[in-house]
Amino acid sequence: PVMRGQDLMVDPDGKFIRDVVRLAIKPIWNAYNFFVLYANADGIKANFNTESQNQMDQYILTKCSDSVKSIQKALNGFDTPSAYAAIEQFFEVLNNWYIRRSKERFWKSEYDADKQSAYDTLYTILNIMCRAAAPLLPLITEEIYRTLTDEESVHLTSFPELDKRNPALVTIMDRIRDVCNAALSVRSSANIRVRQPLNKIVIVGLDFLERGTDIIKDELNVKNIEFAHN
Protein backbone atom coordinates (compact mmCIF):
# COMPACT_ATOMS: atom_id res chain seq x y z
CA PRO A 1 0.00 0.00 0.00
CA VAL A 2 2.82 2.45 0.79
CA MET A 3 3.91 2.26 -2.87
CA ARG A 4 0.45 3.58 -3.80
CA GLY A 5 0.59 6.42 -1.30
CA GLN A 6 -1.76 4.59 1.05
CA ASP A 7 -1.53 3.77 4.74
CA LEU A 8 0.91 1.02 5.69
CA MET A 9 -0.75 -1.18 8.28
CA VAL A 10 1.39 -2.87 10.92
CA ASP A 11 0.85 -6.65 10.92
CA PRO A 12 2.04 -7.92 14.33
CA ASP A 13 1.09 -11.53 13.52
CA GLY A 14 3.08 -11.67 10.27
CA LYS A 15 0.07 -12.84 8.22
CA PHE A 16 0.97 -10.46 5.41
CA ILE A 17 4.45 -11.95 5.11
CA ARG A 18 3.05 -15.49 5.06
CA ASP A 19 0.60 -14.48 2.33
CA VAL A 20 3.38 -12.95 0.25
CA VAL A 21 5.43 -16.13 0.55
CA ARG A 22 2.45 -18.29 -0.37
CA LEU A 23 1.10 -16.16 -3.21
CA ALA A 24 4.23 -14.51 -4.60
CA ILE A 25 7.34 -16.57 -3.84
CA LYS A 26 6.11 -20.18 -3.89
CA PRO A 27 4.60 -20.11 -7.42
CA ILE A 28 8.00 -19.11 -8.82
CA TRP A 29 9.83 -21.71 -6.75
CA ASN A 30 7.29 -24.41 -7.67
CA ALA A 31 7.85 -23.87 -11.40
CA TYR A 32 11.62 -24.02 -10.90
CA ASN A 33 11.37 -27.08 -8.65
CA PHE A 34 9.25 -28.93 -11.22
CA PHE A 35 11.83 -28.27 -13.92
CA VAL A 36 14.84 -29.28 -11.82
CA LEU A 37 13.17 -32.39 -10.41
CA TYR A 38 12.24 -33.93 -13.76
CA ALA A 39 15.19 -32.66 -15.79
CA ASN A 40 17.54 -34.33 -13.30
CA ALA A 41 15.43 -37.49 -13.20
CA ASP A 42 15.47 -37.73 -16.99
CA GLY A 43 19.11 -36.65 -17.31
CA ILE A 44 18.13 -33.95 -19.80
CA LYS A 45 20.24 -30.88 -20.50
CA ALA A 46 17.90 -28.07 -21.51
CA ASN A 47 18.90 -25.29 -23.89
CA PHE A 48 17.81 -21.69 -24.36
CA ASN A 49 15.42 -21.95 -27.30
CA THR A 50 12.46 -19.78 -28.31
CA GLU A 51 11.72 -21.48 -31.64
CA SER A 52 9.49 -24.37 -30.59
CA GLN A 53 6.65 -25.15 -33.00
CA ASN A 54 4.48 -26.74 -30.30
CA GLN A 55 1.27 -24.77 -29.83
CA MET A 56 1.45 -24.72 -26.04
CA ASP A 57 5.11 -23.63 -26.16
CA GLN A 58 4.30 -20.82 -28.57
CA TYR A 59 1.49 -19.68 -26.30
CA ILE A 60 3.58 -19.47 -23.12
CA LEU A 61 6.49 -17.82 -24.96
CA THR A 62 4.13 -15.14 -26.26
CA LYS A 63 2.67 -14.66 -22.78
CA CYS A 64 6.23 -14.37 -21.45
CA SER A 65 7.09 -11.77 -24.07
CA ASP A 66 4.01 -9.73 -23.16
CA SER A 67 4.83 -10.00 -19.45
CA VAL A 68 8.43 -8.84 -19.93
CA LYS A 69 7.18 -5.78 -21.82
CA SER A 70 4.64 -5.03 -19.07
CA ILE A 71 7.29 -5.37 -16.37
CA GLN A 72 9.69 -3.09 -18.20
CA LYS A 73 7.02 -0.45 -18.84
CA ALA A 74 5.96 -0.48 -15.19
CA LEU A 75 9.52 -0.28 -13.87
CA ASN A 76 10.31 2.58 -16.24
CA GLY A 77 7.36 4.40 -14.68
CA PHE A 78 8.50 3.56 -11.11
CA ASP A 79 5.31 1.51 -10.70
CA THR A 80 6.62 -1.52 -8.84
CA PRO A 81 3.17 -2.88 -7.81
CA SER A 82 2.10 -3.16 -11.45
CA ALA A 83 5.44 -4.70 -12.38
CA TYR A 84 5.02 -7.42 -9.80
CA ALA A 85 1.38 -7.95 -10.76
CA ALA A 86 2.62 -8.88 -14.25
CA ILE A 87 5.02 -11.43 -12.72
CA GLU A 88 2.33 -12.91 -10.49
CA GLN A 89 -0.17 -13.21 -13.34
CA PHE A 90 2.39 -14.86 -15.59
CA PHE A 91 3.37 -17.53 -13.09
CA GLU A 92 -0.29 -18.29 -12.46
CA VAL A 93 -0.63 -19.13 -16.17
CA LEU A 94 2.71 -20.95 -16.25
CA ASN A 95 1.92 -23.23 -13.30
CA ASN A 96 -1.80 -23.74 -13.59
CA TRP A 97 -2.06 -23.98 -17.35
CA TYR A 98 1.21 -24.54 -19.23
CA ILE A 99 2.96 -26.93 -16.84
CA ARG A 100 -0.24 -28.74 -15.92
CA ARG A 101 -1.29 -29.16 -19.55
CA SER A 102 2.24 -30.21 -20.58
CA LYS A 103 2.97 -32.78 -17.87
CA GLU A 104 2.54 -35.74 -20.24
CA ARG A 105 5.27 -34.27 -22.45
CA PHE A 106 7.66 -34.12 -19.50
CA TRP A 107 6.65 -37.47 -18.05
CA LYS A 108 6.56 -39.73 -21.11
CA SER A 109 9.12 -42.49 -21.01
CA GLU A 110 10.50 -42.15 -24.53
CA TYR A 111 12.87 -39.29 -25.28
CA ASP A 112 11.98 -37.39 -28.45
CA ALA A 113 12.10 -33.89 -29.93
CA ASP A 114 8.79 -32.91 -28.31
CA LYS A 115 10.04 -33.80 -24.84
CA GLN A 116 13.26 -31.86 -25.39
CA SER A 117 11.23 -28.92 -26.67
CA ALA A 118 9.13 -28.88 -23.49
CA TYR A 119 12.23 -28.80 -21.30
CA ASP A 120 13.89 -26.16 -23.49
CA THR A 121 10.83 -23.92 -23.36
CA LEU A 122 10.43 -24.13 -19.58
CA TYR A 123 14.17 -23.52 -19.09
CA THR A 124 13.97 -20.50 -21.40
CA ILE A 125 10.95 -19.10 -19.59
CA LEU A 126 12.62 -19.42 -16.17
CA ASN A 127 15.82 -17.83 -17.50
CA ILE A 128 13.95 -14.86 -18.97
CA MET A 129 11.63 -14.28 -16.02
CA CYS A 130 14.49 -14.43 -13.51
CA ARG A 131 16.21 -11.60 -15.35
CA ALA A 132 12.98 -9.60 -15.66
CA ALA A 133 12.01 -10.09 -12.00
CA ALA A 134 15.48 -9.63 -10.52
CA PRO A 135 14.98 -5.95 -9.56
CA LEU A 136 11.89 -6.91 -7.53
CA LEU A 137 12.87 -10.35 -6.19
CA PRO A 138 16.67 -10.23 -5.95
CA LEU A 139 17.27 -13.31 -3.78
CA ILE A 140 15.03 -16.01 -5.26
CA THR A 141 15.90 -14.99 -8.82
CA GLU A 142 19.62 -15.12 -7.97
CA GLU A 143 19.29 -18.65 -6.55
CA ILE A 144 17.30 -19.94 -9.53
CA TYR A 145 19.34 -18.22 -12.22
CA ARG A 146 22.74 -19.28 -10.88
CA THR A 147 21.59 -22.87 -10.48
CA LEU A 148 20.14 -23.01 -14.00
CA THR A 149 22.99 -21.30 -15.83
CA ASP A 150 26.13 -21.62 -13.67
CA GLU A 151 26.70 -17.92 -14.36
CA GLU A 152 28.02 -15.56 -11.70
CA SER A 153 24.87 -13.55 -11.00
CA VAL A 154 21.51 -12.63 -12.49
CA HIS A 155 22.25 -9.05 -11.45
CA LEU A 156 25.17 -8.89 -13.88
CA THR A 157 22.96 -9.71 -16.87
CA SER A 158 20.95 -7.44 -19.12
CA PHE A 159 17.21 -7.02 -18.90
CA PRO A 160 15.74 -9.65 -21.23
CA GLU A 161 14.44 -9.00 -24.71
CA LEU A 162 11.91 -11.44 -26.12
CA ASP A 163 9.84 -10.63 -29.18
CA LYS A 164 7.51 -13.57 -29.64
CA ARG A 165 4.15 -12.53 -31.02
CA ASN A 166 1.25 -14.83 -31.77
CA PRO A 167 -1.75 -12.74 -30.68
CA ALA A 168 -4.29 -14.96 -32.43
CA LEU A 169 -3.10 -18.02 -30.51
CA VAL A 170 -3.06 -16.11 -27.21
CA THR A 171 -6.63 -14.87 -27.81
CA ILE A 172 -7.88 -18.39 -28.48
CA MET A 173 -5.99 -19.99 -25.59
CA ASP A 174 -7.03 -17.32 -23.10
CA ARG A 175 -10.68 -17.78 -24.07
CA ILE A 176 -10.29 -21.55 -23.78
CA ARG A 177 -9.01 -21.00 -20.23
CA ASP A 178 -12.00 -18.73 -19.53
CA VAL A 179 -14.43 -21.36 -20.84
CA CYS A 180 -12.80 -24.09 -18.76
CA ASN A 181 -12.81 -21.96 -15.60
CA ALA A 182 -16.48 -21.05 -16.11
CA ALA A 183 -17.47 -24.66 -16.79
CA LEU A 184 -15.53 -25.92 -13.76
CA SER A 185 -17.40 -23.36 -11.68
CA VAL A 186 -20.71 -24.72 -13.02
CA ARG A 187 -19.56 -28.24 -12.17
CA SER A 188 -18.63 -27.14 -8.67
CA SER A 189 -21.95 -25.40 -8.04
CA ALA A 190 -23.75 -28.58 -9.14
CA ASN A 191 -21.45 -30.78 -7.02
CA ILE A 192 -20.34 -32.77 -10.07
CA ARG A 193 -16.68 -33.72 -9.83
CA VAL A 194 -14.41 -33.48 -12.85
CA ARG A 195 -13.73 -37.22 -12.72
CA GLN A 196 -17.38 -37.81 -13.65
CA PRO A 197 -17.70 -37.62 -17.46
CA LEU A 198 -20.50 -35.55 -18.96
CA ASN A 199 -22.16 -35.94 -22.33
CA LYS A 200 -21.68 -32.41 -23.65
CA ILE A 201 -20.95 -28.76 -22.99
CA VAL A 202 -22.69 -25.93 -24.85
CA ILE A 203 -20.52 -22.90 -25.60
CA VAL A 204 -22.36 -19.79 -26.74
CA GLY A 205 -20.98 -17.29 -29.22
CA LEU A 206 -17.37 -18.52 -29.39
CA ASP A 207 -17.24 -20.49 -32.63
CA PHE A 208 -13.59 -19.55 -33.14
CA LEU A 209 -12.70 -21.93 -30.29
CA GLU A 210 -13.33 -24.96 -32.49
CA ARG A 211 -9.54 -25.29 -32.81
CA GLY A 212 -9.35 -25.98 -29.09
CA THR A 213 -12.09 -28.57 -28.68
CA ASP A 214 -9.66 -31.35 -27.70
CA ILE A 215 -8.23 -29.24 -24.87
CA ILE A 216 -11.69 -28.29 -23.60
CA LYS A 217 -12.90 -31.91 -23.69
CA ASP A 218 -9.85 -33.06 -21.78
CA GLU A 219 -9.99 -30.29 -19.18
CA LEU A 220 -13.69 -30.70 -18.47
CA ASN A 221 -14.08 -34.44 -19.06
CA VAL A 222 -16.92 -34.04 -21.56
CA LYS A 223 -17.56 -36.17 -24.62
CA ASN A 224 -19.06 -33.58 -26.99
CA ILE A 225 -18.94 -29.83 -27.54
CA GLU A 226 -21.82 -27.88 -29.07
CA PHE A 227 -21.42 -24.30 -30.28
CA ALA A 228 -24.57 -22.20 -30.14
CA HIS A 229 -25.66 -18.60 -30.69
CA ASN A 230 -28.85 -18.60 -28.62
pLDDT at 24 over 90: no
pLDDT at 204 over 80: yes
Q: What is the pTM of this model?
A: 0.89
Count Cβ neighbours within 10 Å for each residue of 185-198 and write b for 16 or more, e otherwise.
eebeeeeeeeeeee
Which tens digits make up the pLDDT trace of 185-202?
Answer: 999 999 999 899 999 989
Phi-psi category of 58—alpha, beta or left, where left has phi over 0 and alpha has psi -120 to 50?
A: alpha
Nearest to 97 by CA among 168, 188, 166, 180: 180
Which tens digits make up the pLDDT trace of 101-155?
Answer: 999 999 988 889 999 999 999 999 999 999 999 999 999 999 999 999 999 999 9
